[in-house]
Amino acid sequence: MPYPIHRPRRLRQSPAVRRLVRETHLVPSQLVLPLFVREGLTEPLPVSSMPGVVQHSLDSLRRAVTDAAAAGLGGVMLFGVPAVRDAVGSGADDPRGILNVATAAVAQEVGDALVVQTDLCLDEFTDHGHCGVLDARGRVDNDATLERYAAMGLAQARAGSAMLGLSGMMDGQVAHVREALDAEGFSDTLLLAYSAKYAGAFYGPFREAVDSQLTGDRRTYQLDAGNGREGVREALLDVEEGADVVMVKPALPYLDVLAEVRASVGVPVWAYQVSGEYAMVEAAAAHGWIDRRGAALESLIAIRRAGADAILTYWALEAARWLRDDL
């Protein structure tokens, strides 16, 4: 038999060669760490379904963001867990509300070293757990919710948030919040649109982390799992409305959507590796069924390879250390 003419294995023969020819790279500055801060805590409170993740006190949050800056992460995304909720999420735009107080503290601590980002959604602040206000029939009222988002966005910008994460999936949310910000002089505040945010089964641990009060589901405003083109359409609409960055969420189950969005828009595209993705690996690793570090890094590389310019992941701090160790 003749010897092979083509020998692709030559490019895999050593760690040095593999590093040199790697097509997709992951660095700490491409990672964003989601963080939860709960009103009234004096010590961090572990989230049972997400090993290693906690609800922070204000003091522990300051330490966490300092660690994130030292690790070279790109940013942090803050989520607030209030002590009191109501039908319209009043705590969301209260300057004394936990998320706005935490944002001011974090911006003062690391605002020059990290992009301080805040979740702009009402679900953590409403007593029904939906991402908007409800009408008389118990349905999420899109346009009434936009007014709440504008107020929330202004409160977060005043607190020092550099980037607002519009995660509620209301029609017209980007344009409405952008208009409100610009009218008040916050034209430099960035908008991250959760454009292709899918309803599904991967959010369970997150709902523990924010003590969600949700009854029912969010399928009337989040995307159906079978619809890829719709995710691209949503991203295009958000860019048209003024989004600076668009998001696909969850990440691994929607890599095809992520790739299509990346090919369709000219702004940065991010992905959120959600709580269920994290919890599955953590659970399998705890049983010895999977290599934790290897699976985590491989999943992050897959998300980058599909087109994400940055990734929200609960492994951000650890991944930054692993990446430094691998140099």
Q: Residue 80 pairs with which residues in a beta bridge?
A: 37
Annotated active-site residue in 197, 218, 262, 304: 197
Half-sphere exposure of 125 (CA within 13 A, CB side): 25
Decide if 133 contacts 140 (C-beta within 8 A): yes
Lookup result for tokens 């009191």: 84
Which H or E run includes 172? none
Handedness of CA 172, 174, 176, 177 (dihedral sign): positive
In sequence order, what are the residues at sequence separation of 6 or more whose Cβ sits closer than 8 angstroms to the Cβ of residue 112? none
Residue with structure tokens 């209301």?
A: 170
Q: How far apart, in Å, are the Cα atoms of 97 and each of 37, 158, 279? A: 11, 13, 29
CB 104 within 8 A of CB 58: no
Q: At how many degrees (to 10) do helices 275-286 and 292-306 cross?
A: 150
Cβ atoms of 75 and 115 within 8 Å: the answer is yes
Distance of alpha carbon 292 from its chain centroid, rounded?
21
User: Could you tell me which residues come within 8 angstroms of residue 82 by beta carbon, excluding any fewer than 6 positions away?
Assistant: 39, 91, 97, 98, 99, 124, 125
Judge whether 50 counts as a catalytic residue. no
Task: State how far the Cα of 302 lies from the Cα of 26, in Å rounded to an integer.
Answer: 10
DSSP state of 184: T
Hunting for tokens 């699976």 — which residue is that? 295
Which of these is catalytic: 62, 249, 262, 304? 249
Based on the residue annotation, tell me whether 249 is a catalytic residue of this protein: yes
- Report how far residue 166's alpha carbon sits from residue 192's, in angstroms, rounded to the nearest whole number: 6
Spatial separation of the C-alpha atoms in residues 201 and 250, rounded to whole Å: 10
> What residues act catalytically?
197, 249
